[in-house]
Structure 1
Amino acid sequence: MKLHLSPPPNTLINSDIEITGSKSETNRLLLLRAIFPTISIQNLSNSDDAQAMEKGLKVNTGEVDIHHAGTAMRFLTAYFASQAGKEVVLTGSKRMTERPVQVLVEALQSMGADIQYLKDHGYPPLVIKGKELTVNKVSLPANISSQYISALLLIAPGLKNGMELELVGKITSVPYIKMTLGLLTQIGVKNSFEGNTVKVGPKLSVGPMEVVVESDWSSASYFYSIVALADIGTEIMLSAYKKNSLQGDSVLSEIYEQLGVETFFEGNRIRLSKISDQKPATLNLELSNTPDIAQTIAVTCFGLGIGCYLTGLHTLKIKETDRLEALKVELSKLGAKISVSDQDLTLQPSPKIKSGVAIDTYNDHRMAMAFAPLALKTSILINDAQVVTKSYPDFWKDLDTLQLGIRTV
């Protein structure tokens, strides 16, 4: 599906949008519910990733195909490895078979797991024969994707001896680790995070409880971008959000304040308000804790005609696509002057945006959604626009309420 987006008749926007539960929280809670079935979950994410995770957890034997769901690949690898009697082949899309999983597999094998590679060493598909894991001390490099770390921490309460995880080196993506530990605390699992050591105690059972998933801050980022690119006076209401969020991407409220967007917490909603056109000539940010919002920020800065220097982006190389290279290619099409390395992005201020450019999305939901706000500045085409279903199936419907000219071509 290709969509043509054009500027609204009035770039003073007012809208009220409800965003479903966080994909990150949902996938963590789904795994915990599989271990402790007495947990019930409200406001689940309706994303493809969450559905792949939920479906995969129901399998006892045979093939589990998680398609493009990277989180599900990491979490299910750990889950099935720790479930005695379950035997699966865990696989996914072609891109998924190119995304490394060796670090997690080796960590699990050091705990006694039975995991073999079906094809290429270090990559899915994986043959996993579940067994009781009794070794409780394990280590991982601290600078890897937090999903590897969370995968281990989430299975820890179901292990006889719990887990002591040592993170070797400088830790990145701390908010996602803290999110996992926060959810464990919420269901009554004892844990600690001191220095580079994380400890999670075992728990035999959890009493009946209901957990409500907060709405997704990563999804909110696209509306922050829209408000930043719109006229002063624009307001968008989003629900449901918490002021003391477990999600690292909630730092959006601080980042976009530098771009004229104020965030007001009102009950379980946030009101995004464009209060100023003042902005820095160049936005400098270290995003190792929140790499998923890098694409949105880079596109926002381009749309505002300012530069940005974004660092701490080393994990973007192994996402749905190489996101740094993809950003460079697509922003360059629009007239941007941009350079990238293995871990940073430099964008020069650019006064002009080319019109009618078709943006390729690389099977990456965030490429489609990050570029969509540019429709406030120029007409733009989004190729394979349906990729948004991976994390935010209602994105185009919600965007349509802003009176952008969205049509299928």
Structure 2
Amino acid sequence: MTLHLQKSYTKASSKIAITGSKSEANRLLILQALYPNIKIENSSNSDDSSLMQKALASDEQLIDIHHAGTAMRFLTAYFSIQEGRDTILTGSPRMKERPIGILVDALIALGADISYLENDGFPPLKIRGRKLAKHKVRLEANVSSQYISALLLIASSLENGLELTLDGKITSVPYIKMTLGLLDQIGVENSFEGNVITIDPKQEELKPQTLVVESDWSSASYFYSIVALSEVGTKIELSSYKKDSLQGDSALAKIYKQFGVETSYSENNITLSKSSIVSQDSKISLDLSNAPDIAQTISVTAFGLGISCHLTGLHTLKIKETDRLVALQNELSKLGANISVTNDALVLDVADAINSEIEIETYKDHRMAMAFAPLALKTSILIKEADVVSKSYPDFWKDLVHVGFQIK
């Protein structure tokens, strides 16, 4: 499905309700499977979370999680401790190109029985569930935080808990702290001191409890971009968010001040307001190693405002739904950007103009579709495979129309 986004203008004031964070929901779904006394409210309506729920409820041997990278990592760990169960875990052709060897090696070091069915280091996997008695393992600290969180989520179910040592500089710390924060909420003892994370085993049954998933800050990023590209005075209210968020992408509130966007907090909502015009002499320099998923949104915002930006800490974007750095370079260049990328950084210089009626390839990546959509406030663009947004935000296009976008 290709959507034609005509040059649009936002309403002066809008309200949007965004469903629960995919990141939080997927972690809680694993914990709920391990501890059935947990109930979840405001869960994510994303494809990824739906696939996770179906996989956890399935009695079939073959589990296909399609494009859901988080589900692949978390379920690899989960099924490795399901004693007596054999599982084949597979996914889309792109999923079979996304490495998982680091996590598999760590689980095998703890005693797991996992083998590769096609290429070593990549899905599909054959997993024979068993009790894991070993409790010490090491990982390189700069790997995807999802490998680390996958281990942390099952750690309290292990006979002796887990002592995880991270070697080197740790990236995506907020996502690790999110996982530990959720363990705190359900009563699992843990510590994160220096480069060592320790999780105590949880032998007794958890008390019944209900956990409410905060709305997704990654989804909020697109409205930050929309407000940044709108007229001064534009306001969009988003629910349900909190100031003391566990999500790393809540850094948006601070980052977008540089784009003239102020964030105000009420009881359960945030209001984004365009407060000032950003000078085209501005240059945005950010280390996004703790929030790499918002790099696409930020770079497109900078391009739309006609300012330069230098983003670093992006090495994990190479192994996402697509190589997001190359994808950004390709599509922004078509629009007229002066952009260069390396394995972990992006440099965007001021462009002379924005080309109109450009078709944006999405590379089966939900964030490509949503990150580029706000540019319709500057020029008409076309978004190919626009339905890919259902992976994380099924209502995205409907919500854009609600704030004033003209979409065919």
Q: Residues of 1 paired with 2:155 and 2:378: CA distance?
A: 49
1:327 is aligned with what amino acid?
A: L
1:7 CA displacement: 2.2
1:36 is aligned with what amino acid?
A: Y
1:324 is aligned with what amino acid?
A: L
Q: Does residue 248 of structure 1 match 2:258?
A: no
| Structure 2 counterpart of 1:282 | 283
1:11 CA displacement: 4.3
Q: Residues of 2 paired with 1:11 and 1:392: CA distance?
A: 20
Q: Residues of 2 paired with 1:243 and 1:287: CA distance?
A: 20
2:207 is aligned with what amino acid?
A: G
Spell out, residue by residue over 1:126-155, the C-alpha distance to the aligned partner (whole angstroms, 9 max, x if none).
000000001000111100000000000000
Q: Residues of 1 paired with 2:135 and 2:396: CA distance?
A: 42
Q: Residues of 1 paired with 2:327 and 2:162: CA distance?
A: 38
Question: How many pairs does the alignment contain?
Answer: 406
| Structure 1 counterpart of 2:333 | 332
Alignment of 1:244-393 (within 5 A): 244-279=244-279, 281-393=282-394
CA contact (8 A) 2:227 2:272 kept: yes
Q: Please state whether the residue corresponding to 1:131 is helix, strand or coil.
A: coil
| Structure 2 counterpart of 1:236 | 236
**TM-score calculated relative to the size of structure 1:** 0.98
Q: Please state whether the residue corresponding to 2:245 is helix, strand or coil.
A: coil
Q: Please state whether the residue corresponding to 1:401 is helix, strand or coil.
A: helix
1:59 CA displacement: 2.7
| Structure 2 counterpart of 1:131 | 130
1:95 is aligned with what amino acid?
A: R
1:13 CA displacement: 3.2
Alignment of 1:57-72 (within 5 A): 57-72=56-71
Unmatched 5+ stretches in structure 2: none
| Structure 1 counterpart of 2:2 | 2
CA contact (8 A) 2:10 2:403 kept: no
Q: Residues of 2 paired with 1:256 and 1:238: CA distance?
A: 15
Q: Residues of 2 paired with 1:289 and 1:60: CA distance?
A: 36
Q: Residues of 1 paired with 2:188 and 2:59: CA distance?
A: 26
Q: Percent identity?
A: 64
CA contact (8 A) 1:336 1:350 kept: yes
1:57 is aligned with what amino acid?
A: L
Q: Please state whether the residue corresponding to 2:311 is helix, strand or coil.
A: strand
Spell out, residue by residue over 1:145-182, the C-alpha distance to the aligned partner (whole angstroms, 9 max, x if none).
00000000000111111100000111000000000000
| Structure 2 counterpart of 1:219 | 219
1:12 CA displacement: 5.1
CA contact (8 A) 1:12 1:233 kept: no
Structure 1 runs of 4+ aligned residues shifted over 3 Å read 10-13
Spell out, residue by residue over 1:290-321, the C-alpha distance to the aligned partner (whole angstroms, 9 max, x if none).
00000000000000000100000000000000
| Structure 2 counterpart of 1:180 | 179
When structure 1 is superposed on structure 2, of 175-184 and 276-285 the one drifting more is 276-285
| Structure 2 counterpart of 1:168 | 167
Q: Residues of 1 paired with 2:167 and 2:40: CA distance?
A: 34
Spell out, residue by residue over 1:63-112, the C-alpha distance to the aligned partner (whole angstroms, 9 max, x if none).
00000000000000000001102211000000000000000000000011
